[in-house]
């Protein structure tokens, strides 16, 4: 195994510069308690103006008044670190971000895909430059050695395990990234290089510095295994695109939405998962002139499906239909896609030799499309129930409720294929009674009492109607269905 270490010497600064409009302006990060504010990091323009990290804030203000000052936020650093770990995960399956300011990835397994190390290294550097993170990269047979080399010489690559020990032996003790500042203490003891440290009796080192230093040395030289905390991609998807301008039409949102959905699909296929519901968040920002503040709000467009899906085109189709249903009453400045539930994806089994028309779409997929456009309740099945009252003798059935659909309806006199949603008066001449009456007297248990005499009538046009009248009466017909 060969490990590449990417050191991020200016992670905090780069994370801030990533978000500011003009990175070329002097900028400094401030840290420390209120009484003792010091500069944590400065960018090139600020360094040119004479600012140095560690400088007191008052001194810095005296040197350069134009420098933009930002608070140093460790949470932002951690976010950037995680983001870079996710980025590195695209190049290797073994990525660790366990050391602050560094990312370690296993490189040799990726050579077949990305080409030999010089090519992979160039690719990493190109992408980091595009992302705007300064970096130092080195390659070594152990992760800790790679970390040490990255600190010593940018671009150093050592792939031969036999020369690892002699090379490491020459590393100055203070530059060897030893744990707990041990390097400085060893230097004071007169130890100058790792070679001299290794020649010391291990027992004595253990007593003076504890076991961690010895373990570190063994892992550094590769004589002991180095169990790393490997990066695991998060199990939810959250991505956001900021518009450069205010958008008020659906059409203009489709392009960024397509990007987000494509990212989601790539993410899902990497996880071998699917998504059942996600939220498209439209972020608004309204300037309140009287208060002089920008008021933020958002509209959520929820997208739900009956089964987990991960096909980009299908997800886009559904997301687009849902978005078109939503009304945009405020200008949108940002678009965010959140997916928290990512169930495993079970692809539909299909026959290899199934001959289907080219534009074929399986029913579950089509059902999602119909529901997205026409509403969640627009697609249903019907099932009979045991209730004697005609309007309650059927109900819509759920997608997976096959049992309800197959349950046989109680045997009753003929029932019409069409039922009117509401009975309506039937005022026609020439009605002829075909059969009846069938008395229904039911529903006393739920306060929806029904007393009706049902008849099958034939109209003058030859239609067969199912109508009822009050018990014992004929003539004031209420039409309830058609025998179509």
Partner 1 sequence: MGAQVIPLESLLSARTVWRAGRQAAPAPLGESTGFAALDALLPHGGWPQGALSELLIPAEGVGELTLLMPTLARMTQAGRLVALIAPPLCPYAPAWQRAGVDLRYLEIVQPGVDNRSRGALWAFEQCLRSAAFSAVLGWPSNADGASLRRLQVAADTGQCLGFAVRDSKHADNPSPAALRMERVQGHWRIRKCRGGQVPSQGFAPPSPAVLPG
Instruction: Mark the segment that binds partner 1 (CB under 8 A) among 113-121, 126-134, 174-182, 406-414.
Output: 406-414
Q: Which of 420, 440, 450, 478 binds partner 1 (CB under 8 A)?
A: 420
Q: Binding marks (x or -) toward partner 1, 428..447, rule CB under 8 A?
A: ------xx------------
Contact between 460 and partner 1 (CB under 8 A)? no
| Nearest residue (CB) to partner 1, 304 versus 331 | 304
Nearest distance in Å: CB 332, partner 1: 24
Contact between 132 and partner 1 (CB under 8 A)? no
Other C-beta atoms lying within 10 Å of the C-beta of residue 45: 19
Collapsing DSSP states into helix, strand and coil, what is residue 138?
strand
Nearest distance in Å: CB 473, partner 1: 22
| Nearest residue (CB) to partner 1, 114 versus 482 | 482
Nearest distance in Å: CB 470, partner 1: 22
DSSP string, 204-261: HHHHHH-HHHHHHHHHHHTSS-----B----SSEEEEEEEEEEE-SHHHHHHHHHHHH
Other C-beta atoms lying within 10 Å of the C-beta of residue 77: 20
Chain centroid offset of residue 251 CA: 23
Binding to partner 1 in span 2-41, by CB under 8 A:
none
Backbone angles phi, psi at 149, to 5 degrees: -65, -35
| Nearest residue (CB) to partner 1, 311 versus 341 | 311
Contact between 63 and partner 1 (CB under 8 A)? no
- Size of interface with partner 1, in residues (CB under 8 A): 58
Binding to partner 1 in span 462-481, by CB under 8 A:
462-465, 481
Q: Which of 82, 192, 236, 381 binds partner 1 (CB under 8 A)?
A: 381
Contact between 313 and partner 1 (CB under 8 A)? no
Which residues are registered as beta bridge partners of 6? 103, 137
Written as six digits, the tokens of 322 are: 């849902």
Contact between 389 and partner 1 (CB under 8 A)? no
Q: Binding marks (x or -) toward partner 1, 336..375, rule CB under 8 A?
A: --------------------xxxxxxxx--xx-xx--xxx
Chain centroid offset of residue 272 CA: 13
What is the rounded distance in angstroms from the CA atom of residue 431 to the CA atom of residue 461? 10
Q: Which of 109, 184, 302, 409 binds partner 1 (CB under 8 A)?
A: 409
Nearest distance in Å: CB 85, partner 1: 43
Nearest distance in Å: CB 362, partner 1: 6
Contact between 397 and partner 1 (CB under 8 A)? yes
Q: Is 232 exposed, middle or buried (0-12, 13-18, 19+ CB in 10 A)?
A: exposed
Q: CA torsion sign, 456 to 458 to 462 to 463?
A: negative
Our CA dihedral for 341, 345, 346, 348, rounded to 10 degrees, sits at 110
Nearest distance in Å: CB 262, partner 1: 24
323-326 LR contacts (CB < 8 Å, sep 24+): 323/250, 323/253, 323/254, 323/257, 323/280, 324/250, 325/372, 325/373, 326/282, 326/299, 326/301
Collapsing DSSP states into helix, strand and coil, what is residue 4?
strand
Q: Which of 138, 416, 453, 469 binds partner 1 (CB under 8 A)?
A: 416
Q: Point out which residues bind partner 1 (CB under 8 A).
A: 356-363, 366-367, 369-370, 373-375, 377-385, 390, 393-395, 397, 402, 405-406, 408-410, 412-421, 434-435, 456, 458, 461-465, 481-484
């Amino acid at each position: 195994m060969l490990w590449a270490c990417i050191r991020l010497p200016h992670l905090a600064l780069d994370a801030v510069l990533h978000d500011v409009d003009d990175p070329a302006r002097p900028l400094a990060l401030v840290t420390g308690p209120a009484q003792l504010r010091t500069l944590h990091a400065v960018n090139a323009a600020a360094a040119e103006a004479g600012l140095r990290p560690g400088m007191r804030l008052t001194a810095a203000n005296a040197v350069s008044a134009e420098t933009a000052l930002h608070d140093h936020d460790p949470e932002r650093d951690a976010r950037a670190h995680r983001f870079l770990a996710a980025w590195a995960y695209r190049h290797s399956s073994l990525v660790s971000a366990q050391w602050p300011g560094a990312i370690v990835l296993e490189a040799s397994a990726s050579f077949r895909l990305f080409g030999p190390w010089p090519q992979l290294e160039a690719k990493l550097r190109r992408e980091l430059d595009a992302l705007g993170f300064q970096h130092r990269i080195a390659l070594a047979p152990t992760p800790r050695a790679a970390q040490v080399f990255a600190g010593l010489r940018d671009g150093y690559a050592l792939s031969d395990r036999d020369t690892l020990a002699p090379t490491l032996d020459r590393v100055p003790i203070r530059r060897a990234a030893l744990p707990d500042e041990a390097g400085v203490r060893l230097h004071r003891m007169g130890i100058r290089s790792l070679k001299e440290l290794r020649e010391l009796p291990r027992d004595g080192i253990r007593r003076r510095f504890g076991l961690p230093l010895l373990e570190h040395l063994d892992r550094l030289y590769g004589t002991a295994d180095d169990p790393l905390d490997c990066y695991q991609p998060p199990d939810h998807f959250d991505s956001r695109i900021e518009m450069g301008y205010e958008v008020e039409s659906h059409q203009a949102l489709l392009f960024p939405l397509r990007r987000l959905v494509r990212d989601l699909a790539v993410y899902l296929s990497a996880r071998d998962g699917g998504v059942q519901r996600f939220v498209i968040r439209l972020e608004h920002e309204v300037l309140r002139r009287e208060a002089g503040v920008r008021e933020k709000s958002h509209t959520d467009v929820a997208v739900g499906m009956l089964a987990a899906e991960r096909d980009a085109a299908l997800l886009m189709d559904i997301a687009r239909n849902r978005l078109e249903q939503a009304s945009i009453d405020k200008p949108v400045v940002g678009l965010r896609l959140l997916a928290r539930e990512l169930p495993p994806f079970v692809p539909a089994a299909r026959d290899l030799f199934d001959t289907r028309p080219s534009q074929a779409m399986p029913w579950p997929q089509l059902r999602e499309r119909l529901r997205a456009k026409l509403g969640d309740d627009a697609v249903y099945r019907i099932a009979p129930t045991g209730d004697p009252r005609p309007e309650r003798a059927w109900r819509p059935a759920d997608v997976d409720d096959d049992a309800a659909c197959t349950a046989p309806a109680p045997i009753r006199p003929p029932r019409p294929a069409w039922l009117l949603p509401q009975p309506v008066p039937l005022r026609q001449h020439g009605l002829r009674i075909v059969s009846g009456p069938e008395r229904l007297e039911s529903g006393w248990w739920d306060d929806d009492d029904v007393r009706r005499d049902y008849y099958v009538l034939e109209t003058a046009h030859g239609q067969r109607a199912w109508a009822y009248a009050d018990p014992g009466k004929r003539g004031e017909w209420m039409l309830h269905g058609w025998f179509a």
